[in-house]
Structure 1
Amino acid sequence: MYMIVNIMMNSFTSRSMMEGQEIEIIWTIIPAITLIFIALPSLHLLYLTDEIFNAQTSIKIIGHQWYWSYEYSDFNKEFDSFLIPETDLDINSFRLLETDNNLMIPFNTMIKFLITSADVIHSWTIPSLG
């Protein structure tokens, strides 16, 4: 409150700058238009990447605190996949990537992955895809 009163009563304050509605409109409208021009193509691409054309099979992946659960909906099969402890790894194995039950996916088919979590946020990936 002190700062507002001090600025209003100060003789060095330009009275014309106190009511700069034109400049305020300009610096509000121009960034808004810029954001709209960025958002529209991004939303279009977002919806295009979410489309699934003729998925031949679907796999549901559920992340748990220390393991993954997989469900093949077309084959009514499900299993859990746990990390292999470091002491049990072979010399050429990948640490934090080797599991006791690996997910097998069909080659050269469209697959719909439904990835969710049972407790906290998880990141599921296929290492060979980058």
Structure 2
Amino acid sequence: MAHPTQLGFQDAASPVMEELLHFHDHALMIVFLISTLVLYIIVAMVSTKLTNKYILDSQEIEIVWTVLPAVILILIALPSLRILYLMDEINDPHLTIKAMGHQWYWSYEYTDYESLGFDSYMIPTQDLTPGQFRLLETDHRMVVPMESPIRVLVSAEDVLHSWAVPALGVKMDAVPGRLNQTAFIASRPGVFYGQCSEICGANHSFMPIVVEAVPLEHFENWSTLMLEDA
């Protein structure tokens, strides 16, 4: 869960998010080294009194400032492409959930069950209980088994939405008339919060996403109770 003074990302709750955190640190270190080098060159040029008015061109310098940026871009691009393909992999999902965006709530349908589905609305501030988070809690959570591949089919009923849960490293556009898919594996139990990440109207800020990862036996008990209440 993010907090007001947080400087970095949330703790990773999925293997993909762990890879994204490593890539962020990798790219940030490269940017830091480049910034340090450029700052040093600027300070050296401003502070030095030595100049050479007769250097019109330099083949060596041109080679360096052409090859070096190319190498740096390759060092950034290769791990980025690896993560991109990793995020698109969906191998033998144990559970498929259809998430539909509406103005302004989410509806979930567990397609492996005949009649397991519900709407998920934000809990108004005046109805919150102590310990609940303002603008993030919902009346129904999307419950999933931990350490299991979960496929999420994402679409929208009316306008563009985006289903995003930062701790799981998931963000997928919900487009009316189009069915997009993403996948994740919750590597630890917990409650993970997200929000619609596409401006979708006046109440865009009031359609949160809550994913609860639980052990498999707890998920089976929850699904049984939900089916009995349906």
Instruction: Answer yes or no: same fold by TM over 0.5.
Output: yes
TM-score by length of 1: 0.63
Cα distance in structure 2, aligned partners of 1:94 and 1:105: 21
Q: Name segments (4+ residues, structure 1) moved above 6 Å.
A: none
Cα distance in structure 1, aligned partners of 2:123 and 2:134: 8
Question: In the alignment, what sits opposite 2:62?
Answer: 24
Cα distance in structure 2, aligned partners of 1:90 and 1:81: 17
Larger Rg: 1
TM-score by length of 2: 0.40
CA shift in 2, pair 1:129/1:89, >3 Å: closer
Say whether residues 1:96 and 2:135 are aligned partners.
yes
Question: In the alignment, what sits opposite 1:123?
Answer: 164
Looking at secondary structure, tell me which structure has more strand per residue: 2
How many residues matched? 117
Cα shift at 1:42: 3.1
Cα distance in structure 2, aligned partners of 1:58 and 1:30: 46
Cα shift at 1:107: 5.4
Cα shift at 1:62: 3.2
CA RMSD between the two structures: 3.2
Seq. identity, %: 45
Does structure 1 conserve the Cα–Cα contact (< 8 Å) formed by 2:109 and 2:118?
A: yes
> Which is bigger in relative contact order (C-alpha 8 A, separation at least 6)?
1
Give the alignment partner of residue 85 of structure 1, picking from 118, 124, 130.
Answer: 124
Does structure 2 conserve the Cα–Cα contact (< 8 Å) formed by 1:65 and 1:119?
A: no
Question: In the alignment, what sits opposite 1:109?
Answer: 148
Which blocks of at least 5 consecutive residues in structure 2 are unaligned? 1-51, 168-189, 194-230
Cα distance in structure 2, aligned partners of 1:112 and 1:98: 23
CA shift in 2, pair 1:109/1:36, >3 Å: closer
